[in-house]
Structure 1
């Protein structure tokens, strides 16, 4: 669909692309965090510092971020489906190659290659959702798509722990995970092809406001907020198993399991937030509440909590961060210029993602020099700044229409 077209009804093609995006987003986050559950073992085997561990996790994110602007440009030229399919098969092959890594430099290089391949997803997927679903149903649709990524993030720590139990080898575990992408490439590509060849005529509705025609202040603030939110997001989702192993002394299996608990709570938060946001038409208050409550919960990690309190705090961190994700991503689709959505999301996921991309390295450097308590304070500070920025956002008061299911 063209970047400027929006449906006023939900079609079978809408559901097809949503399923494809769910699977592709699932794999995207499995692969960007694929080293996370194995980092304690990799760090011991390759004698890595915290800074080097941070570099490994950041390498894929920095590269992915660097290519998002180009991908967004290509997405506006009717290449969305191709970019998403490449992101799936390319990432799977990259992870297979990663299993042969003999050194830190080799791992870092393959992480860069992985970053290039996975960059095809985000700038292509969000405009696709915006075009396939009417505004009244968009937060729910974005929530379903985002849920794929969250399931991937939640599953990779516990899946990695399970594979370590079964194979006792992080390299064999990576082979299994790489093959997953190779296999799922087929249904993703078929679903994307179906959605493209079964488009229905676009129906215009005077009550459905497509969004701004130019770049706005709200979009600029969203880019800044995206960057600030990305800092705790990347550090907690990618480095939490390592943090729990170093600061709390948990074995990799338990550290991965606790990280999964944190992320599963985020799944419930998204399920709750998405329909309420659509029903009320509110986005900003969810975003502010989400990031505002995250700061004190992160700070509590520095108090060496007992196991019960630690689990509760991790649940709170996951819940309140992801409580703002479906409304926030729906808001992004609504403040992007309608004629250049792909490019706008390229900006969001490149310039707006730079802070989060380099955050694991900063987290590791601070940890090596001052200790991990200082690294946590770094996350708390950026989260407070993000809360302040969110207070300047304005709600989109466009009139919503009720979506109709196509016959």
Structure 2
């Protein structure tokens, strides 16, 4: 497992673009995750109730959901880079919006607008990485390039927790805006490959079908990953909304520990999945997520809390790059922006509904995390029974005993 050796095999232009893109991703995720431990506290500082905190945090996914579709189309038809830049511009404007917001309604609107940033950046970034990565090293390159996420999440929440008592909300939000401006400047230096040809005739000439969003969503090869993303999004929505309130003095430690665990496992799983398949690692990640939420629901000790963070980070470190690699395997380059938009939209919807729903239910925090564990557990059962053409093939794929029968390199997708 040698990232240096892997990147040395790439042509210089390819390597340069990936390195600039990685630096862009790292700065972006530092800025975006500084909000994780401080935004629920900021809403509470402004007088928000538990229900209103859930509404504000969940509204983040409104922008994600409403913007994924057209951002995916822009990525396919206009290029990936412009979508990345859109994400960084919105990231620059959002902290300013939080500063001037003077009501819960305004905070909800800004938080929803902020969601456009993540929708744009993740769609453009992941499509760019997949375009630049050699097919035989796709899982490995995606794994390495997505190390920017746990690194950013290790630094961002810790910085937020450290800086907030020292400089206050206003200066901290200003610093986040400045970091986003730097990210935007850096992203403009990326040189992308010519974006895929857009017309149906050109797709047919390349033996690549031109599928609509509805065709992509209803294709079983993409519907099941989207449904799993939905369930994990619901779990994650519970985590980011209520953990800072449940263990406010330890929330920053949880996120940083999880990010370190995520970073550690991502170094290895990408290359291993290119050799052994995606299914085994996705199964393991869903088990880790389930165990993490169970620990949060029953453990009262700091050791249990840290173990939950390690398991959550391991789950995220494996699941996200493996699911991205999976849906990349199941799509053509000419539709990859829309495919990422469709696949990850399930995650957006999950975040949107779980925080506000549980906020209105007003359950005790352990019960909320027990429900979050059930979301991940259902995702695991769904994957081992429905991830391939039938239950037998799904179980074998989920155990790493056979390849992905939906991968387009092997055969045409079954609509």
Bin the TM-score by the shorter chain. 0.7 to 0.9
- Whole-angstrom distance in 2 between the partners of 1:309 and 1:349: 30
5 Å-filtered alignment, 1:223-238, equals 223-237=226-240
- TM superposition score normalised by structure 2: 0.80
CA 1:19–1:365 in structure 2 vs 1: closer, same or farther (change >3 Å)? Answer: farther
Confirm or deny that 1:69 pairs with 2:74: no
Contact 1:65 1:350 in 2 (8 A): yes
Give the number of equivalent residue pairs. Answer: 371
| SS of structure 1 residue aligned to 2:292 | helix
Structure of higher RCO (CA pairs closer than 8 Å, 6+ residues apart):
1
| SS of structure 2 residue aligned to 1:120 | helix
User: Which of 330, 341, 348 is the aligned partner of 2:325?
Assistant: 330
| SS of structure 2 residue aligned to 1:121 | helix
> Could you report, residue by residue, the CA deviation over 1:358-406 in whole angstroms, capped at 9, with x for unpaired residues?
222223233x2x2112211220111111001111213326699xxxxxx
Structure-2 residue corresponding to 1:189: 188
- Whole-angstrom distance in 2 between the partners of 1:59 and 1:361: 8
Q: CA deviation at 1:117?
A: 3.6
Contact 1:230 1:353 in 2 (8 A): yes
User: Which of 237, 255, 260 is the aligned partner of 2:256?
Assistant: 260
Q: CA deviation at 1:260?
A: 1.3
5 Å-filtered alignment, 1:90-169, equals 90-167=90-167, 169=168
- Whole-angstrom distance in 1 between the partners of 2:105 and 2:34: 17
- Whole-angstrom distance in 1 between the partners of 2:317 and 2:148: 13
Root-mean-square deviation (CA, aligned residues, Å) is 2.9
User: Which of 372, 386, 392 is the aligned partner of 1:379?
Assistant: 372
- Whole-angstrom distance in 1 between the partners of 2:251 and 2:88: 27
Confirm or deny that 1:296 pairs with 2:291: yes
| SS of structure 1 residue aligned to 2:188 | helix
- TM superposition score normalised by structure 1: 0.82
Consecutive unaligned residues in structure 1, runs of 5 or more: 1-8, 198-208, 401-407
- Whole-angstrom distance in 2 between the partners of 1:158 and 1:85: 26
Q: CA deviation at 1:84?
A: 0.7
> Could you report, residue by residue, the CA deviation over 1:332-358 in whole angstroms, capped at 9, with x for unpaired residues?
111124432222222123355312332
- Whole-angstrom distance in 1 between the partners of 2:358 and 2:236: 12
Contact 1:122 1:349 in 2 (8 A): no
Structure-2 residue corresponding to 1:175: 174
Q: CA deviation at 1:232?
A: 2.0
> Could you report, residue by residue, the CA deviation over 1:166-221 in whole angstroms, capped at 9, with x for unpaired residues?
31x12211111111011222122112xx3448xxxxxxxxxxx9998865422221
Confirm or deny that 1:314 pairs with 2:313: no
